């Protein structure tokens, strides 16, 4: 029994040796090695190396005023939230591979982080899907306090060692004549970042949306009072019959049913917190602000190593081609 097996083994060795010799002579061996070099690509190999990264927490305002359609991107009369999402998407896409990103929402005075930081290139499709599905109906409170939201955003970014980008129209509810920027001073210099302002500076009515995201009505001064923003007018408004409007001169102090980008509030908050402020009209403005604000740093980061295997495979393929060309030109015996 042993002799037939040994004989088969010797025949196999001879055939293998002949095939390897023939492959070496005509250059086929190089193509085989090139294919083998590509096999680990299916396992998405990674490597750690020093890289320039820009780890960032993007916080987006989802208060109701972000539904106001007074911006021209991606089309005329788009909502502020549409522009905000497009700006954040472009900003994330422009970050160098190895950077970590996270997305948070703010309403009222609270920031909720949706997921912990993810590497931008590997996880971009998932991050994009989360981002583009954001909606103001996700808000958990109707009021908004921008200065407190900036405070909360800084705390969340500092906890995760990230830069901060906060996107808002800075339209607070209720309106305040004298914001308290001193609340931000203790956070000054804690993180690097930029505030992106969105929206026009001409007051516009705040829309109400139905379940499908379509505008069905607009907030009225009387409804703003009923929300508790002007307690001195509450008793008078409650006495009105359904659909009845109060006299215009009596409602002159009410402005919460209208919304505009509050540049002075956004600028003051940025200066107090040691951040930059940019009024964003399109995603290009957003990307430019990230490149100019000194938010990048050098750090060890995971990078895709598949390109190295591709390069090795390419070199082996070229060697095979040169070898084969040389072999064909040799005189045949």
3-state helix, strand, coil in the chain (%, to 5): 45, 20, 35
> Looking at 140-154, 224-238, 256-270, which range is the least confident one?
224-238
Torsion of CA 264, 218, 150, 103, to 10 degrees: -130
| pLDDT over 70 at 126, yes or no | yes
Helix or strand (DSSP H, E) at 107: strand 100-107
Total-model pTM: 0.80
Q: How far apart are CA 302 and CA 46, in angstroms?
A: 6
Domain 49-207+259-301 fold is: Rossmann fold (3.40.50)
Structure tokens at 28: 């086929």
Widest CA span in the chain:
113
Note the Cα 320 to chain centre separation in Å. Answer: 44
| pLDDT over 60 at 15, yes or no | no
> Looking at 68-77, 267-276, 289-298, which range is the least confident one?
289-298
Sign of the C-alpha dihedral, residues 285, 286, 289, 291?
negative
> Looking at 212-216, 228-232, 233-237, which range is the least confident one?
228-232
In percent, the amount of the chain with pLDDT more than 70 equals 84
Q: Which residues pair with 207 in a beta bridge?
A: 218
| pLDDT over 90 at 171, yes or no | yes
| pLDDT over 50 at 34, yes or no | yes
Mean pLDDT to the nearest integer, 163-183: 89
Q: Which residue has the higher pLDDT, 42 or 291?
A: 291
Contact by Cβ (8 Å): 65, 206? yes
In percent, the amount of the chain with pLDDT more than 90 equals 50
Q: How far apart are CA 216 and CA 329, in angstroms?
A: 79
- Mean per-residue pLDDT over the chain, rounded: 85
> Looking at 183-187, 196-200, 273-277, 307-311, which range is the least confident one?
307-311
pLDDT band of 40, cuts 50, 70, 90: confident
| pLDDT over 60 at 313, yes or no | yes
Question: CB count, 10 Å around CB of 224?
Answer: 23
Determine the pLDDT at residue 272.
94
> Whose CA is closest to 306, among 70, 12, 47, 41?
41
Q: Which residues pair with 218 in a beta bridge?
A: 207
Q: What are phi and psi of 112, to 5 degrees?
A: -115, 120
Q: Which residues of 318-330 are buried (b: 16+ CB within 10 A; e: fewer)?
A: ebbeebbeeeeee
Burial of 306 (0-12, 13-18, 19+ CB in 10 A): middle
pLDDT band of 29, cuts 50, 70, 90: confident
Residue with token string 């309106």:
175
Q: Which residue has the higher pLDDT, 63 or 51?
A: 63
Helix or strand (DSSP H, E) at 204: strand 204-205
Most confident stretch, 97-101, 181-185, 329-333: 97-101
| DSSP-H helix ranges across the chain | 2-26, 28-38, 80-93, 120-132, 146-159, 182-185, 221-226, 231-238, 263-273, 283-292, 306-329
Q: How far apart are CA 333 and CA 325, in angstroms?
A: 17
* Rounded CA Rg of the chain: 31
| pLDDT over 60 at 89, yes or no | yes
Contact by Cβ (8 Å): 173, 63? yes
Determine the pLDDT at residue 16.
46
Determine the pLDDT at residue 4.
61
| pLDDT over 70 at 235, yes or no | yes
Determine the pLDDT at residue 42.
73
Contact by Cβ (8 Å): 29, 20? yes
Q: Which residues pair with 300 in a beta bridge?
A: 50
Mean pLDDT to the nearest integer, 248-254: 85
> What 8-state DSSP symbol labels residue 275?
-
Q: Which residue has the higher pLDDT, 23 or 78?
A: 78
Mean pLDDT to the nearest integer, 214-229: 87
pLDDT digits (tens, 9 = 90+) for 137-157: 999 887 789 999 999 999 999
pLDDT digits (tens, 9 = 90+) for 1-11: 555 655 655 65
Mean pLDDT to the nearest integer, 280-305: 84
Going from N- to C-terminal start, the domains of the chain cover: 49-207+259-301, 220-255
């Amino acid at each position: 029994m042993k002799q037939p097996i040994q004989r088969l083994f010797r025949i196999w060795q001879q055939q293998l040796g002949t095939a390897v010799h023939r492959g070496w002579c005509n250059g086929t061996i190089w193509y085989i090695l090139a294919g083998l070099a590509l096999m680990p690509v299916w396992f998405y190999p990674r490597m750690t190396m020093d890289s320039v990264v820009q780890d960032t927490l993007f916080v987006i305002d989802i208060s109701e005023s972000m539904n106001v359609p007074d911006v021209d991107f991606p089309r005329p009369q788009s909502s502020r939230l549409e522009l905000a999402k497009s700006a954040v998407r472009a900003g994330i896409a422009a970050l160098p591979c190895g950077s970590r990103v996270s997305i948070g929402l703010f309403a009222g005075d609270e920031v909720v982080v949706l997921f912990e930081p993810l590497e931008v290139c590997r996880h971009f499709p998932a991050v994009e899907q989360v981002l583009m599905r954001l909606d103001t109906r996700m808000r958990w409170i109707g009021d908004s306090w921008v200065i407190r939201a900036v405070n909360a955003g800084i705390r969340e970014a500092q906890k995760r060692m990230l830069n901060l980008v906060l996107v808002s129209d800075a339209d607070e509810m209720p309106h305040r004549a004298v914001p308290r920027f001193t609340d931000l001073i203790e956070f000054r210099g804690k993180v690097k970042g930029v505030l992106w302002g969105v929206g026009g500076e001409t007051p516009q009515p705040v829309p109400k949306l139905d379940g499908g995201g379509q505008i069905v009505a607009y907030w009225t001064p009387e409804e703003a009072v009923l929300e508790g923003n002007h307690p001195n007018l509450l008793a008078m408004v409650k006495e009105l019959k359904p659909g009845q409007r109060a006299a215009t001169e009596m409602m002159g102090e009410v402005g919460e049913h209208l919304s505009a980008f509050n540049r002075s509030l956004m600028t003051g908050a940025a200066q107090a917190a040691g951040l930059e402020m940019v009024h964003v009209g399109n995603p290009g403005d957003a990307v430019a602000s990230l490149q100019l604000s000194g938010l990048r740093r050098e750090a060890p980061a995971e990078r895709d190593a598949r390109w190295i295997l591709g390069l090795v495979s390419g070199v082996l393929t070229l060697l095979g081609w040169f070898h084969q060309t040389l072999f064909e030109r040799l005189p045949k015996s």
